[in-house]
Structure 1
Amino acid sequence: MPPRKSPPRFRQSPTAKPTASQSGKGQRSAQVPRGNPEITIERLSHEVRGIARHQGKTLFVDNALPGEKVRIRYTASRAKFDEAVAIEILEPADNRRTPPCPYAETCGGCALQHMAPEAQIEAKQQILLEQLQRFARAEPQTLLPPLAGHPLGYRRKARLGVRYVKPKQGGKPQLVLGFREKGSNDLTDIEQCPVLPADFSALIPALRTVVETSEGRRSISHIEVAIGDDATALVIRHLQPLSERDRQHWLDFVQVHQLHLYLQGGDDTEKAWPATGPDRLVYELPAFGVKLQFHPQDFIQVNLEINRLMVDRALELLDVQAEDRVLDLFCGLGNFTLPLATRAREVVGVEGLLALTERARENAEANALHNIQFQAADLTGDFTRSPWARGGFDKILLDPPRTGALEVVRNISHFNAARIVYVSCNPATLARDAAELIQRGYRLSKAGVMDMFPHTTHVESIALFERQ
């Protein structure tokens, strides 16, 4: 569906706010230079921004690709570098593409839609290799081929912000529904999103109408969508209790469109529709014959296609044998643990959140996998003497948050496992932790990137470490 109104373009937005990195993370900027000079982009930064030199300073440029000649607008100035955005592409690179989304230049959900998908993957692979060299002084003996899927329609979890905003030219406040703008807490008003599945993207105008016609529309702060193999669920966050009319209004909408409905007021989330059945969605990992249930607000990997490929690759790299005892750290609701249990003698899954370990136990029971034990534990401490760690482990898998797992890798070397597979969403912390593992007797055998988040600057990767 075409957008309800044309989104602003870069060249029409001279007052756009700088991003968090552009604002120096709270540091005061020097006066932003005036003018719109023409520059040539030399290479990409680790944030996948263009890098150039102008008037003796390094310049980081959004919306720019290596080799391009662009006209820029400055957004911030520091002592050692300036920041800018390309407002006009004078000589485009061969890998520049017209963004598939009409909101790409303002919406903060995607930052790389101007770059061909294969070029995005190549850039992310280079970032991984550079970070490994910089922090670990290492490179993988084998560079794994990237895992890539369809770059559109892949996202099965998202949060749409809802606000009423008074127009600058005056008049009644109007509904704005969408994702945060680039470099701003404001929202980009959308009526479609090509990285969401097409059937849900097509529902956004109808979703807008439901909000606009609700009595308590000003109390709705955001709408979450979670998409399983079996159903799509909406979680409506409302700051005030819903009236009976509004409750019925939402029930009518989800029943017509065959959605599940959850209402979140305060700290409580209530499943409102269907009225019967568990408050769970399901996704399947068919290569292992397992199905995982999750609450719409649980953490799951947002890209179903890449998640399946990632689990396949992780187990292939671990080379799990029938006699192995395997440790799965940061196991969540069992995304890796259950597939591991179909191959290994025993698997121990450890997670810091008790609620997720309970969900994981439910999944193991539902799949009749009885060679798993799940533990809730603080992984920042020494867990090597915990009862569940007795007996050691032959193989270890870890999938930590962006902060990495420095204390964990120091502890797991105690087990002397033959293989460790590290799944990472931050190449800088992966490289830092790789240095620790190498120091403790492991070699970096294989590594590669996975395009879990196409069109974004997020770099998902996987690495195999083997005991020397």
Structure 2
Amino acid sequence: MSAPKIDPASYATQLAEKQQRLSELLAPFDAPAPELFDSPREHYRLRAEFRLWREGEQRHYAMFEAGDKHRPILIDDFPIASTRINALMPRLKAAWQASATLSFKLFQVEFLTTLAGDALITLCYHRPLDALWQAEAERLAEELDVSLVGRSRGQRLVIGRDHVIEKLEVAGRRFRYRQPEGAFTQPNGVVCEKMLNWAFEALGQRDDDLLELYCGNGNFTLPLATRVRQVLATEISKTSVNAALANLADNGVNNVSLVRLSAEELTEALNEVRPFRRLAGLDLKSYEFGSVFVDPPRAGMDPDTCELTRRFQRILYISCNPETLAANIAQLHDTHRVSRCALFDQFPYTHHMEAGVLLERR
């Protein structure tokens, strides 16, 4: 069985259908027509994950339909993945087929690449990794010119770096991002760059402060920090917090305070429900917040956090789930109007889409 074929000829139709769907979801709020940001038709995905399927003495890249783990779709190439991933796939396969050390109990392969040309491969095993494996893996990493991570239960061996470097341009400035292995990053780099530029423009130049919830590795934090006096950013993932701190330092962005709190915890702190040790030394009352930026998970903002955002003059919201976005806007619609909205096609040939809205106080 071969991988499903994409159909670039149908792309415009699919994108128009998504635009119509977003317009319908936002129609109750008198939103303007969505600005449209399309994707490359092929080779747009910078991450890919494959299980390995064994037939005889050979292991093949494989994917499965949702809910079906018994009938693999065997993959030789993957047109939606970056050209770097497609170039690495056959070379990695040839390497594990030529080496019992590399292939023994190897069950999953993950690729992480960047528009800047960096690449990291993660090899996952159902066995301990020893010195022989490390020697073989070091030779492979050098041959493929990649960083490599070996994972097994209780083990994580890193050859090279445990992150890739991305470079994205926003309003003429190039920002440098460390993207850690195993942490969330935007999968479509071209569309991510369009999202950053849209958010940068939508926020505008401000003389007050920005609150950012769910900041991740600082993807939006870096460019948005150049538009305001100072930023208070929050993120709960320790890996993402460490990456964000490194990215702030690497880019010389020094007007951001980052705290490891969930959005719900920060809401409690701002409402003075209870104190948090992680906020010690930070004077929340010294901030003059005019805007809040949120990029929540698919579940959207919880009701209390949504209510918190009502305090701000401007709410800049990036969403990976337009249904929960619409539910959050419904809660805010009596005090805020949608002045701008956008569709970002991160996931061509699927029903998934990213959306952005700017809500301003009435």
Q: Aligning the two structures, in what range does the TM-score lie when normalised by the shorter sequence?
A: 0.7 to 0.9
Alignment of 1:308 onto 2:198: no
Letter in 2 for 1:433: N
Q: Please list the CA deviations of residues 181-212 of structure 1 after superposition, one character each: whole Å capped at 9, or x if unmatched.
A: 35522431111011112232133223222233
Residue aligning to 2:177: 292
Aligned to 2:107: 221
2:163 to 280, 287, 294: 280
SS at match of 1:241: coil
Deviation, structure 1 residue 462: 0.6
> What corresponds to 1:453 in structure 2?
347
**Match among 395, 406, 423 for residue 291 of structure 2:** 395
Label 1:208 to 1:184 Cα distance change in 2 as closer, same or farther (>3 A): same
1:237 paired with 2:124, answer yes
Number of the residue aligned with 1:350: 234
Aligned-partner Cα distance in 1 for 2:11–2:49? 24
2:250 paired with 1:366:
yes
Match of 1:204 in 2: 89
Distance 1:113 1:401 in 2: 29
CA distance in structure 2 between the aligned counterparts of 1:378 and 1:182, rounded to whole angstroms: 30
State the Cα deviation string for residues 7-36 of structure 1 (Å, max 9, x = none): 3xxxxxxxxxxxxxxxxxxxxxxxxxxxxx
Counterpart of 1:280, as a letter, is: H
Deviations along 1:262-301, whole A, 9 cap, x unmatched? 11122442212x3xxx533211222233211121222111
RMSD: 2.2
Cross-structure match for 1:121: 15
Matching residue's letter, 2:182:
Q
* TM superposition shift of 1:385: 3.6
Task: State the partner residue of 1:194.
Answer: 79
Structure 2 equivalent of residue 463 of structure 1: 357
Equivalent of 2:205 in 314, 320, 324: 320
Please state if 1:380 is matched with 2:274.
Answer: no
Shift of 1:230: 4.7
Gaps of 5+ in 1: 1-5, 8-102, 106-111, 166-171
Query: What is the CA-CA distance between 1:250 and the residue it aligns to?
Result: 3.0
1:211-230 per-position Cα deviation (integer Å, ceiling 9, x unaligned): 33343535212111111325
Letter in 2 for 1:222: Q
SS of the equivalent of 2:79 reads coil
Match of 1:144 in 2: 34
Partner secondary structure for residue 410 of structure 1? helix
Alignment counterpart, residue 253 of structure 1, candidates 131, 136, 140: 140
Which secondary structure state, in structure 1, belongs to the residue aligned with residue 349 of structure 2?
coil
**Residue-by-residue CA offset, 1:153-202 (whole Å, 9 max, x unaligned):** 1111111111325xxxxxx4652312223552243111101111223213
TM-score by length of 1: 0.69
What is the one-letter code of the residue matched to 2:162? Answer: D
How far the C-alpha of 1:118 sits from its partner, in A, is: 1.2
CA distance in 2, matches of 1:345, 1:234: 39
Q: Residue type matched to 2:96 in 1?
A: V
Q: CA deviation at 1:403?
A: 0.7
Amino acid at match of 1:427: P
Secondary structure of 2:38's match? coil
CA distance in 1 between counterparts of 2:42 and 2:252 reads 35
Query: What is the CA–CA distance in structure 1 between the aligned matches of 2:234 and 2:122, rounded to whole Å?
Result: 28
Cα gap change, 1:226 to 1:379, in 2 (>3 Å): same
From 293, 300, 312, the equivalent of 1:404 is: 300
Q: Which of 316, 319, 329 in structure 2 is aligned with 1:421?
A: 316
Deviation at 1:244, TM superposition (A): 4.1
Asked if 2 retains the 8 angstrom alpha-carbon contact of 1:400 and 1:424, the reply is yes
Measured in 2, the distance between the counterparts of 1:467 and 1:295 equals 37
Per-residue deviation, residues 320-349 of structure 1 (Å, max 9, x unmatched):
32x120111110010111111222110111
Specify the alignment match of 1:433 in structure 2. 328
Alignment partner of 2:100: what SS? coil
Gaps of 5+ in 2: 273-281
**Larger RCO (CA under 8 A, 6+ residues apart):** 2
Greater CA deviation, 368-377 or 207-216? 207-216
Q: Secondary structure at the match of 2:74?
A: coil
Answer yes or no: is the 8 Å Cα contact 1:347–1:372 preserved in 2: yes
SS at match of 1:237: strand
* Counterpart in the other structure of 1:10: none
Aligned residue for 2:199, secondary structure, equals helix
Bigger mean CA deviation after superposition, 296-305 or 262-271? 262-271
Worse overlay, 444-453 or 330-339: 444-453
Comparing both structures, which one devotes a greater share of its residues to helix?
2
CA distance in structure 2 between the aligned counterparts of 1:219 and 1:121, rounded to whole angstroms: 41
Q: TM-score, normalised by structure 2?
A: 0.88
Q: Distance in 2 between matches of 1:114 and 1:369?
A: 40
Residue identity in the other structure for 1:457: H
Partner of 1:12: none
Partner of 2:4: 104
Q: Once structures 1 and 2 are overlaid, which stretch shifts more, 227-236 or 367-376?
A: 227-236
Q: C-alpha separation between the residues in 2 aligned to 1:300 and 1:431?
A: 24
| Corresponding residue for residue 152 of structure 2 | 265
CA distance in structure 1 between the aligned counterparts of 2:353 and 2:224, rounded to whole angstroms: 24
Alpha-carbon distance change, 230 to 200 in structure 1, aligned in 2, over 3 angstroms = closer
Rg: which structure is higher?
Answer: 1
One-letter amino acid matched to 1:231: D
Give the equivalent residue in structure 1 for 2:276. none
Matches of 1:240 and 1:392 in 2, distance apart? 54
